[in-house]
Each structure stands twice: as C-alpha cells, then as structure tokens.
Amino acid sequence: MRIFYLCPDVEFPSGGIKRLYTHVEVLSKNGFDAYIMHTNKGFKPAWFLAQAPVVYSSDSPAVGPDDILVIPEGFPAVLKQFASSPIKKVVIALSLAYIFETMPLGENWKHYGVNWVMTNNKTTKEFIQWSMSIENVHIIESSIDHELFYYKPGKKTPQIVYIKRKDTLSPIVEKILTSRNIPSGDLNFIPIENLNIQDYARLLRDSTIYLTTSISEGFPLPILEAMACGCVCAVLNGNAGRDVSIDSNIDQSFIVAESMNFIDLAKKLEEIVPKLRTNDSQIEKIRQNALATAAKFSPDLEAESVLRFWRAFIEAQS
C-alpha cells in the first residue's frame, strides 16, 4: 500500500504545499511508503528545503487499487476522474475558500467516493460534515518551525508586513493611514512576495505588525508564524482565527476588526501604532499571549496526528 499526495506544480510560496511535503516526510520517516506526486518531471519547490520522496504523474507511475491518493480540496475534477476507480481516495482540506469554489453545482466529495477527509481545524471539520454529510473528518495538527520563527525583541523595527498574494485590502488600509498623516516612519508597509522561507521568517522577526485582510484561511498558520516572531497581528474577523485566539479580556492575542470592514481595521491600526512606540503594557500583553499561543504548535504534535490518522485509516480498510 502506497500513499501518494497529489501536489500542484506551484512556484510561489504556499503554506498548503509545505504541509503536503511535511506529511510525506513524517510518513516516510516512520516506515510508510509515501510520496509527493507532482505533474511535470523534475519539478520541486525552490523556496524551502524538502526531504520528501517525489514521483511524477508525467512518468505514468503504476497506481493500483491497493494504493491511496490524497487530493487537495480545490481539485474536484481530479476527484471526479477517479470516482469510479477502486483506488482509495482521501481529501486534504486546508482552506475553506477552495472547497466549493470549483465544485460543480449539486455535487460534493461524497459523490466521488470520498469518505475520509483530513483538515486542520474544527471550523472546517464541522463545515465539511454539515455540508457533505461525511463523518470521517479528522483534524491534523499544524506546526511552526520554532528554529525559524522566533521572537528577538532587539531586532524589531516599525514596519507592517502583509502577504501580497492573499491581500487585496491591505494596500487600501495603507492609503487610508497615509491620508491620516501618521508619520511614515511608524507606517512602513512591506508586501511579502516570493520570499524563500528563511527570508520570510527573517522579515517577520524584524517586523512590528503583521496585517492580513484575508478571511478565507482555514487555519491561520501565517498568523501563528507572525505571532511566534513577536509581531502584533491585526486581522479581519472571520474563520481564520476562531480556533486559536480569543479577542477579549486577558486572553487576547491579536487585534480583530469587523469582518470585511477595512475602515475599522485602519482605525484599530491607528490606535495601536503609538502604543507600540511607547511599549504600552496592553500591547505587550497581547504579544505575550500570542507567543504563548504559537508555542503550542510543535512539529512533534503535527507528526503524532499525521501518524494517528493514517494508522486509523489503514485499520479501517482492513
């Protein structure tokens, strides 16, 4: 029995791609016959160091009924292609945004013979169970590489970073705050684009605020990585933070604005910028809560949950 994780040939940095590689690395180290499956011969992401074994569908590898295909959530056409095949299928769903985006009307994964799903948070799990009536939905823990993502107080400079690929509203927030005549030294906005993982982590360690206007994240790993680096995170309310933060009282670990309300987000940023400059105790409390939250996400925890899922799946098949 071999396990093939289908992985798109994506050049730009993607947390989802990194997760697929991590799963296969964990499985390979623990005696499973597991592979990443890319399409084009020789393709491999260049932005992080990967150890997972890779095969290519362009080589037409023999995949038989005893094998398992793990298919990401945004590829219903691939699932439909294998719907009548005896090959076992598992969906890995890391983002709510992609689940129904390209799904044909009136169809869902259960119609394609999918009865087992991996996801990374309770919100997505409950959504899949409710919308598709699939009961075997299992949460696989996420992890942070704490050797890359860590807090160095002395390195912080007054800059706000955001991931350009995921953010359409952050540039508007920048324009609003610039219009308010806040000193530019306090509001140096830096869009993150096409950085390798080392440079990305270094930028987070150097930055004061991490900004995101995306509400489509299934699990906010970029936010957690920014938390681990001691950034104060400012986000829009939505699915992204529900499983990792409470935006109230002593447990607050990031700044939350109203859902899709970029004006509210800009106002909240205007409030916290001077507090960061004066080392306000409220902001420091948020940072410490964020650091404590991020510290819980260890590679060992992720590895244990990956192995637990696959042992349960294999036992159920037998």
Task: Provide the token pair at 180.
Answer: 């308010």
Q: pLDDT at residue 240 above 70?
A: no
Q: Identify the burial level of 250 via C-beta atoms within 10 angstroms of its C-beta, where 0-12 means exposed, 13-18 middle and 19 or more buried.
A: exposed
Give the model's pLDDT for residue 167: 84
pLDDT band with cut points at 50, 70 and 90 for residue 272: confident
Q: pLDDT at residue 186 above 70?
A: no
pLDDT band with cut points at 50, 70 and 90 for residue 255: confident
The model's pLDDT over 12-28, given as tens digits with 9 standing for 90+, comes to 888 899 999 999 999 99
Q: pLDDT at residue 246 above 90?
A: no
Is residue 136 a contact partner of residue 89, using CB atoms and an 8 Å limit?
A: no
Q: Which residue has the higher pLDDT, 200 or 256?
A: 200
Give the model's pLDDT for residue 266: 92
Three-state DSSP state, 125:
helix
What residues contact residue 204 under an 8 Å CB cut-off, 6+ apart? 149, 161, 210, 225, 226, 229, 231
C-alpha separations of 235 from 61, 212, 245, 272 in Å: 44, 5, 11, 13
Give the model's pLDDT for residue 250: 57
The model's pLDDT over 55-105, given as tens digits with 9 standing for 90+, comes to 999 999 888 899 999 999 999 999 999 998 899 999 999 988 889 999 999
d(CA 303, CA 298): 9
d(CA 72, CA 94): 8
Domains of the chain: 2-143+298-317 (3.40.50.2000), 153-295 (3.40.50.2000)
Give the model's pLDDT for residue 191: 94
pLDDT band with cut points at 50, 70 and 90 for residue 180: confident
